[in-house]
Each structure stands twice: as structure tokens, then as C-alpha cells.
Amino acid sequence: MQHLLPIQYEPILERALAEDIGSGDITANVTIPADRMARAIVLAKSDGVLAGLAVACRTFSLVDHNIVWEPHADDGERIGDRQPLATITGPARGMLSAERVALNVLQRMSGTATMTARFVALTEGTNARIVDTRKTTPGLRLLEKYAVRCGGGFNHRFGLYDCVLIKDNHLAAGGGVAATVARARAETGHTMKIEVECKTLDEVREAVDTKADIILLDNMPLEFLTESVRIIGGRATTEASGGVNLSTVAAIAKTGVDLISVGALTHSAPALDISLEFD
């Protein structure tokens, strides 16, 4: 599974800490003696899927490198209400100053993983993978794409840079499916796959002929999806997109598409309730 390096997420935590601590934690400074030590448990407060435990715990040691932590669960694991996830030990003042940022990170990441797992569960027994989109929180894409993997989903492209995805506006400028895909093939590096958005069955046929790697079936009714999968016949990867929610995803998956992309995994997943409880 995709692995996150500290050099990829520490700047996110540092900015979040600067945002929250600002000119100082004036409450902890006057109420907690500098030498007071503490122990606290990161505790699930509801059921879900865990994501971001190491990232969140790193927050504490960025505030005070004397704070250490021990994990009791793994990212990607189903967790239940009142389950202890990690133990944090160290100077109390720094633990209190870091608490909110750590939980904000962990709750969001686990919220996305949990939402992803719900979609994945509804597609069980089909070949369809649940994949994310670029509808992520500004600045947190790596964390959220990682959380989608924790929830059993897969990643679509990470940005504008790692896959060609030709949408309607590109097609309009490029002169239709065949001409635009051909031009992209000629101009783009050989490592890049080419995906093209289709809204009609005619476009789907044209896309197959151009040997697009992936065909995005945008906002199609179920019967069109089924027919598209039949037309494509394995000659391209198929992706359904648009109108996907917890009520519709199972039926979409049964049309035989390879991928179902869901913006809600990252733009509308509620935070998972997780708290820090001091001994």
C-alpha cells in the first residue's frame, strides 16, 4: 500500500501547529507546570476504519521531542468505539498543545477511510474498484489519497501531472475524441496513460478505436454503462463517474465497470470521532 514519508507530511503538521499555537498556548502555559508528565490514550469514540495514526502521533513529538508514542492499531484496520489506538507519554504541556492538531488530522483521515470502506463494501462481489478524485482538501491530498487506500479504495491520478484525462472542454478544443487522443498520444511521454471522457455510446466507440487506455463513462444511466462495457470488451479500462452515492454504487458496480470514482470520499466525508483521554 502507498506509504507516506515524513518529509511528505511533516510540513503539513508544522503549518497546522503554527496555525493553532500562534503566539503561544496561553492556557497550558499558565496552568500546567513545565515539568508535569502525563500519559494519554488515543481512543476511538465510534466505529470506523483507522487512517493516519503515525501521522497524527508525529504531531506530538514535533511540539516536544520528549513525547513518545506506542501504537495499538494499524492503519486500514476496522476500529470500534472505546478501542485504544495509541498511548502517548511525555511532558503534559506539549501534549495538550498538540492534541487538537493531532486529532484534527486523525479524525479527517479516518473519516475518509471509513466512508471509502462503506462504498467498497457495497461493491463486494463485483470487479469494480472504488477510486478517488482530485476533489480533495487543498493541501491535504496526499493524506486523503492515503486514507482512501486505508479504506480499501484505490487512487485515481494524484494531479494534473500523472495521467492525461481528456474532458469535454479539451475535446471541444481538440476537435473530438479521435483527433484529441491521437494528438495526446503523439505529444505525451510514453509513461503516461490516456483517459478520455465519453458521454455517448458513439464517443465510446470512437474512444475504443483510438486505443485510449481508460474510458471515463460520465454520468451515464445504468443501461448505457452496461452497453459501454460490452462495446469496450476489455480493450480499455472503464470508469464510471457522476451520480455515485451509497444508494447507487452497488447497481453501478454490477454493470461491469472496472472503476467507480467517488468525489464524496474526500470532499464530504464526516470526521470520525476520536479523542485523547488523559489518565
- 262 is a site residue for a second copy (CB under 8 A): no
Active site (annotated) includes residue 193: no
Active site residue 211: no
| Window 153-192: residues binding a second copy (CB under 8 A) | 154-167, 169-174, 180, 183-184, 187-192
Range 7-46, binding a second copy (CB under 8 A)? 7-8, 12-34, 36, 38
Q: Using the rule CB under 8 A, is 219 a contact of a second copy? A: no
Spatial separation of the C-alpha atoms in residues 270 and 206, rounded to whole Å:
40
> Is 167 considered catalytic here?
yes
Q: Is 125 in the site for a second copy (CB under 8 A)?
A: no
Question: How many residues sit in the footprint of a second copy (CB under 8 A)?
Answer: 103
- Dihedral angle, C-alpha 146, 267, 192, 221, nearest 10 °: 120
Question: In the stretch 128-157, what mask flags binding to a second copy with x, by CB under 8 A?
Answer: -x-x--xxxxxxxxx--x--------xxxx
Q: Which is nearer to a second copy, 223 or 241 (CB)?
A: 241
| Amino acid identity for residue 15 in this structure | R
Catalytic residue chosen out of the listed positions 25, 99, 195, 197: 197
> Which is nearer to a second copy, 86 or 272 (by Cβ)?
272
| DSSP 8-state class, residue 32 | S
Q: Does 118 bind a second copy (CB under 8 A)?
A: no
Q: Kindly name the residue from 144, 218, 239, 258 that is annotated as catalytic.
A: 218
Which residues does residue 90 pair with via DSSP β-bridges, in sequence order? 38
The rounded distance, in Å, linking the Cα atoms of 269 and 239 is 22
| Beta-ladder partners of 275 | 43
Is residue 277 annotated as part of the catalytic site, yes or no?
Answer: no
At 48 the three-state DSSP class reads: strand
Stretch that binds a second copy, among 6-14, 76-84, 120-128, 198-206 (CB under 8 A): 6-14
Per-residue mark of binding to a second copy, 52-81 (x: CB under 8 A): ----------xxx-----------------
Phi-psi region of 52 (alpha: psi -120 to 50; beta: other; left: phi over 0): left
Q: Looking at beta carbons, which pairs linking 177-180 to residues 24 or more positions away fall under 8 Å?
A: 177/203, 177/206, 177/207, 177/210, 177/212, 178/206, 178/209, 178/210
CA dist list (Å): 30 to 35, 202, 234: 13, 70, 66
What mask, x for binding a second copy by CB under 8 A, covers residues 222 to 261? ---------------x-x------------------xx--
To the nearest whole angstrom, how small is the minimum distance from the Cβ of residue 32 to a second copy?
A: 5
User: Exactly one of 45, 72, 118, 193 binds a second copy (CB under 8 A); which one?
Assistant: 193
Task: Confirm if 76 and 49 have CB atoms less than 8 A apart.
Answer: yes
Cell of 278: 488523559
The catalytic residue positions are: 100, 135, 167, 197, 218
